[in-house]
Amino acid sequence: MRHRFYSTKKQVPIQISPPRYLFFVFLLSLLCSFGFPLLIRSVYFHLSLSSTF
């Protein structure tokens, strides 16, 4: 496993050099995938609530 990591590190140094940027992009995609359905659900719930009253 360690040997494989070293080989990938030698092949692609661009992916390893900015870990903060990659982590930020991953976090943003995770937030979008989890946030959007939640936001839509809350808005839909609010609209249904306002239409009832």
**For 1-53, what is each residue's pLDDT tens digit?**
455 555 555 555 555 556 778 888 888 888 878 878 888 888 888 888 887 65
Domain map of the chain by residue range? 2-52
CA dist 30 and 39 (Å) reads 14
CA dist 6 and 47 (Å) reads 54
CA dist 20 and 26 (Å) reads 10
CA dist 15 and 9 (Å) reads 8
CA dist 5 and 14 (Å) reads 14
